[in-house]
Amino acid sequence: MEFEVIIGLEVHAQLLTKSKIFCSCSTVFGAEPNTHTCPICLGMPGVLPVLNKKVVDLTLKVALAINCRIAHYSRFARKNYFYPDLPKGYQISQYELPLAEHGHIDILTNGKPRKIGITRIHMEEDAGKLLHDEGMGATSSSYVDLNRTGVPLIEIVSEPDIRTPEEAGEYLKNLRSILQYLEVCDGNMEEGSFRCDANISLRPVGQQKLGTRAELKNMNSFKNVQRALEYEIKRQTSILDEGASVIQETRLWDEAKGITLSMRGKEEAHDYRYFPEPDLVPLIIDDEWIEGIKESLPELPNEKKDRFVKDYQVPEYDAEVLTTSKSLADYFEECVELFPNPKVVSNWVMGELLRRLKGDDKEIDERPVSPGSLAKILKMIEDGIISGKIAKTVFGETYLTGGDPEEIVQKKGLVQVTDQGELLKIVESVLIKNAKEVEDYKKGKSKLFGFFVGQVMKETKGKANPKLVNEILKMKLNL
Ligand SMILES: [Zn+2]
């Protein structure tokens, strides 16, 4: 039987505020355990939470950027469950009245545009962190660090509109890029500031009713999300093919084994006994507040992409790659400012620069070659001081040492040979040394032209001006 895959994603993103959502404790990562705590985030009896306005501002930014409808009236709710990292015995979240609903994100899969619906965005507090020591049996202990308790999160829930693991990856990349452009979240999946859970089910093609879903957790990279979904599609297909039924449950992705494992039966919302948080007043947001946030929104990836195509006349594909991150887009624009030939800049950024960064697993933010250095290299090619080939060598040297491209060219004597007389001598000696090839060439083996060019380049260690070499060779070979 043919099945249709239905995927919905839940993303938890940590907001970049200085203090926690309901108290003034610091959110800085990596402090000594339990030093960023107070009676409020420790869940002491009798304390009262106070909402951090900045959390609302940042959430509104996201809501507007992904086309959500903002609720003028929303409220917080208690989600009750027991776990040792949750001191109050409940998490303050939003339930029946979230801050924003009914949005969408536009993605491209295989070159085709797709609209993925956003069900809702709500604000909530993070729980603490358990640390388990490696001891065995009676000596083993667990510790709890409550620094993370009360750190602000937003949960962004998608509609079940995603159909393939690739689309899921595309959606996540787009969403993360938007959050980074907005500077509301650093998007670091390994450190857990951008986490994704996936709901996945299968149904026979043509059937309206959704199949039973599994919820997948513990995927800490885009690649792992895709791998886990691919595994789950195979697992559920084989269950359904046998005529059995999928169990609704939460499954953990095991990266090392490449499989998902049953963790627990999936809770339903009613298991959490949600009820309105009595210690916080409802959140009222007026139009003025929304307008203020709207005005503060930066240019978003899709807008930037369109502008790159229009203003710089780079191909759509280039614009797409160049705007994948704000840092890369900024880098490109800084270069174009200094060397106003956008297509040439784009070729070098997408070629040499990204290839090397990818190979070294580095980020553009580390800027091993500054926009100024790249512009200098391109200017030297344009002025005929170095050839394109030598330029790559210079780029490599700058990339590794951070040295100034002009100094590298001077010091290493890489200036292009453009002296006609000098080149003529070299061409003549090459033709004499390769008399046999010259004969073959004249008999019609025209491919040998490239060989002669190569020999001249070799003699000059790549420094000969290729255009001049071509001209002189043509002349000497009587063309
Ligand atoms: Zn606190």
Calculate how far, in angstroms, residue 43's C-alpha sits from the geometric centre of ligand 1: 9
Q: What angle do CA 454, 456, 426 make, to 5 degrees?
A: 165
Task: Name the phi and psi angles at 13, rounded to 5.
Answer: -120, 130
Is residue 270's pLDDT more than 80?
A: no
Calculate how far, in angstroms, residue 278's C-alpha sits from the geometric centre of ligand 1: 19
Calculate how far, in angstroms, residue 37's C-alpha sits from the geometric centre of ligand 1: 4
Length of the chain: 479
Calculate how far, in angstroms, residue 145's C-alpha sits from the geometric centre of ligand 1: 13
Give the tens place of pLDDT for each residue, 355-413: 998 888 777 888 889 999 999 999 988 888 888 888 999 999 999 988 999 988 888 87
Calculate how far, in angstroms, residue 283's C-alpha sits from the geometric centre of ligand 1: 21
Question: What whole-number distance in Å separates Cα of residue 191 and Cα of residue 221?
Answer: 10
Tracing tokens 């040492």 back to the chain, one arrives at 401
Calculate how far, in angstroms, residue 215's C-alpha sits from the geometric centre of ligand 1: 32
CB atoms within 10 A of CB 442: 12
Calculate how far, in angstroms, residue 329's C-alpha sits from the geometric centre of ligand 1: 38
Q: What is the pTM of this model?
A: 0.78
Question: What whole-number distance in Å separates Cα of residue 441 and Cα of residue 447?
Answer: 8
Range of lowest pLDDT (17-26, 165-174, 356-365, 446-455): 356-365
Task: Name the phi and psi angles at 61, rounded to 5.
Answer: -55, -50
Give the tens place of pLDDT for each residue, 102-138: 999 988 787 788 999 999 999 999 999 998 876 666 6
Contact (CB, 8 A) for 403 and 414: no
Tracing tokens 């299968």 back to the chain, one arrives at 202
Give the tens place of pLDDT for each residue, 344-363: 999 999 999 999 988 887 77
Contact (CB, 8 A) for 127 and 150: no
CB atoms within 10 A of CB 421: 6
SS3 256: coil
| Among 211, 217, 222, 194, CA closest to 247 | 211
Tracing tokens 């084989």 back to the chain, one arrives at 238
Question: What whole-number distance in Å separates Cα of residue 153 and Cα of residue 99?
Answer: 13
Calculate how far, in angstroms, residue 29's C-alpha sits from the geometric centre of ligand 1: 14
Calculate how far, in angstroms, residue 444's C-alpha sits from the geometric centre of ligand 1: 84
